[in-house]
Amino acid sequence: MVPYRSVLIVGGGTAGWLAALHFQHLLGRNPEIPVQITLLESADIGTIGVGEATVPTLKTTLQQLGISEIQLFTEADATLKNGIRFVGWREGGSAQVDGYDHPFETPPTFEGHSTILHWLNARQHGLTRQSFGDAGGVQTALMELGLSPKLFQSAEYDAPFNYAYHLDAQKLAILLRRVATERGVTHIIGEVRQTSLGEMGISAVHLADGQTLEADLYVDCTGFSSVLLGKALGVPWESYAETLLCDRAVACPIDYASPQAPVRSFTTSTAQESGWTWEIDLQSRRGTGYVYSSAHCSDDEALSILRRQQAGGRPLAEPRWLPMRTGHRARMWEKNCLALGLSSGFIEPLESTGIYLVEFAMQLFGDFLPTDAGMDRARARYNRLMNEHYDHLHDFILLHYVLSGRRDTAFWRDCTAGARIPLRLQAKLDQWHEMLPHVTDVPRKLALFGENSFFYILSGLGYLPERGSALASYIDPKSSKRALLQITRLRDGVQDRFPPLRDYVSRIRASGVMRHFAL
């Protein structure tokens, strides 16, 4: 009944140490059934040195793992994220004329209807020309004004608005490592030289120093190399390269113009000639980078575009080039090996799904934790759901590209070619040409991006029902006008209630440092 008495995680970083804490939380809480959790990582760990954006699920994950939110501000250079701002994705214009937002807010409801319907109704009656982001929601006002989604008095992991984090991924990994080892996870530094196989899958991992490590469950967190699942067990890779064209990135952090420069409370994604650039504001620096297609852009051209986007900001490190491989393993749990992070798959970073996919996989693994008798069924169901989930995320990311109105470069002409749209996504696009995204369009309980997220992207790119919404036609225009007026009042009041993000983070960080010294 207890198939796992030992777990060996191969590979560190955010994925490995987050997995270690998950397994410690999941399997290591009953002293009568001790489970040995070991993490093996190389001494030669590369440092990317950029900020990393996350999605709101990380709040719940860290809270469940018993990590204080204040630790993120004091140890991981964290700031808060209200959403993503997309610039130049429609026609290649500036933020003022070609920008839209994907906030984490669920559109409010007034007089029995979502502001989405009220906004469409108002548009159909000529009562508004504003974008939905400016007229139908409140969180975009926080983004525009650089405000925190949390109040000074907000409890940990709680706020009036949903939010995520910008943070230093390497510092987060160090924090997770410290907490995990304090809680009993064994940490070994070493290099894998050989892997032995047996009837159950992997039977042992042999290190360069002569050590041999054995476990009941092996967890592959070795990145794109996938030493265990890919190389040792030979599980094939299913590629998204035909549809997601970006396969390379260059990253370089830059300094703020002054220590008190405003901190933006959103990720910025700006469409470029052959991909898109990111900007992520941490406490001490700004993470920047360019995600691009190597078939359409050389490394020198990519660096030149990134420098232009940095607008003279002082680089804090040498540029770092990062190869990307979009897709996933055909099976992410094979025999006694579970792959997490880049070892299992990768969706390009446009909507910040990297850490989330580790969270999701660990949650799903815990839900399907098998007895010996049910192992095959658990693995099969897990793999099916993970494959479906990767396809869901793939389609959501692809949506940003295929609906663009840009045709100014070969990259954008290739991205928007209809042949690149999978049939499952094309069917939804045909449906959304007639009606709004609906809760039944996505696997709600498993989907990270629900119908509201799809609407934000569709409306931002100008893809709305051709004849409007039939239901909106039955709503009194006066009701819709009142609803949008109420949104305007709420937006006008946020500056008096919510602090600038720089002020919030500085105060919370100071309180955390003082509490540490008091202890």
- For residue 177, which of 378, 18, 399 has the smallest C-alpha distance? 18
Q: Are 168 and 77 in contact (CB under 8 A)?
A: yes
d(CA 200, CA 204): 11
Domain for residue 370, yes or no?
yes
Q: What is the DSSP secondary-structure string of 21-38?
A: HHHHHHHSS-TTS--EEE
pLDDT band at 466 (very low <50, low <70, confident <90, very high): confident
Percent of the chain with pLDDT over 90: 85
Whole-number pLDDT of residue 417: 86
Residue reference for tokens 């808060």 = 80
Whole-number pLDDT of residue 442: 81
Residue 437 in this model has a pLDDT that exceeds 80: yes
Q: Are 187 and 24 in contact (CB under 8 A)?
A: no
DSSP bridge partners of 60: none
Structure token pair of residue 209: 């120093």
CB proximity list for 182: less than 8 A, separation 6 or greater: none
pLDDT band at 373 (very low <50, low <70, confident <90, very high): low
Angle (deg, nearest 10), helices 354-367 and 375-402: 150
Residue 518 in this model has a pLDDT that exceeds 70: no
Domain for residue 21, yes or no?
yes
d(CA 156, CA 60): 11
Structure token pair of residue 232: 């040792």
Domain for residue 511, yes or no?
no
Residue 56 in this model has a pLDDT that exceeds 80: yes
Lowest-pLDDT range, 99-108, 212-221, 382-391, 509-518? Answer: 509-518
Number of structural domains found in the chain: 1
Angle (deg, nearest 10), helices 375-402 and 423-432: 50
Three-class SS state of 416 = coil
Whole-number pLDDT of residue 519: 42
Domain for residue 152, yes or no?
no
Q: What is the pLDDT of residues 15-35, one digit of tens each?
A: 999 999 999 999 988 888 899
Angle (deg, nearest 10), helices 115-124 and 477-497: 120
Q: What is the pLDDT of residues 198-244, one digit of tens each?
A: 999 999 999 999 999 999 999 999 999 999 999 999 999 999 999 99
φ and ψ at residue 202, rounded to 5 degrees: -90, 130
Question: What's the domain range around 20?
Answer: 6-52+166-238+327-392
Q: What is the pTM of this model?
A: 0.94
Average confidence (pLDDT) over 64-84: 96
| Residue, of 468 and 386, whose pLDDT is higher | 386
| Residue, of 183 and 513, whose pLDDT is higher | 183
Mean pLDDT of the chain: 93
The amino acid present at 359, given as its one-letter code, is: E
Whole-number pLDDT of residue 31: 86
CATH of residue 182: 3.50.50.60
Whole-number pLDDT of residue 47: 46
DSSP assignment, residue 247? -
C-alpha distances (whole Å) from 358 to each of 18, 80, 345, 452 are 8, 20, 10, 23
C-alpha distances (whole Å) from 35 to each of 15, 185, 371 are 20, 10, 15
Residue 173 in this model has a pLDDT that exceeds 80: yes
Q: What is the DSSP secondary-structure string of 260-298?
A: T----SSEEEEEETTEEEEEEE-SS-EEEEEEE-TTT--
Three-class SS state of 249 = strand
Domain for residue 198, yes or no?
yes
Whole-number pLDDT of residue 46: 53
Whole-number pLDDT of residue 382: 96
Q: What is the pLDDT of residues 111-144, one digit of tens each?
A: 999 999 999 999 989 999 999 999 999 999 999 9
Four-CA torsion 102, 104, 106, 110, nearest 10 degrees:
-80
Query: In sequence order, what E strands does 83-169 have?
Result: 83-87, 99-103, 109-110, 113-114, 164-168
| Residue, of 236 and 375, whose pLDDT is higher | 236
Q: What is the pLDDT of residues 392-424, one digit of tens each?
A: 999 999 999 999 999 999 999 999 987 789 999
Domain for residue 180, yes or no?
yes
Residue 48 in this model has a pLDDT that exceeds 60: no
d(CA 71, CA 113): 40
Domain for residue 374, yes or no?
yes
Name the burial class of residue 212, with classes exposed (0-12), middle (13-18) and buried (19+) by CB atoms within 10 angstroms of its CB: exposed
pLDDT band at 445 (very low <50, low <70, confident <90, very high): low
pLDDT band at 444 (very low <50, low <70, confident <90, very high): low
Domain for residue 384, yes or no?
yes
Residue 467 in this model has a pLDDT that exceeds 80: yes
Average confidence (pLDDT) over 31-59: 83
Name the burial class of residue 470, with classes exposed (0-12), middle (13-18) and buried (19+) by CB atoms within 10 angstroms of its CB: exposed
Q: Are 484 and 136 in contact (CB under 8 A)?
A: yes
Percent of the chain with pLDDT over 70: 96
Name the burial class of residue 292, with classes exposed (0-12), middle (13-18) and buried (19+) by CB atoms within 10 angstroms of its CB: buried
Q: What is the DSSP secondary-structure string of 464-510?
A: --TT--TTGGGS-HHHHHHHHHHHHHHHHHHHHHSPBHHHHHHHHHH
Residue 49 in this model has a pLDDT that exceeds 60: no
Q: What is the pLDDT of residues 318-346, one digit of tens each?
A: 999 999 999 999 999 999 999 999 999 99
Structure token pair of residue 104: 């984490």
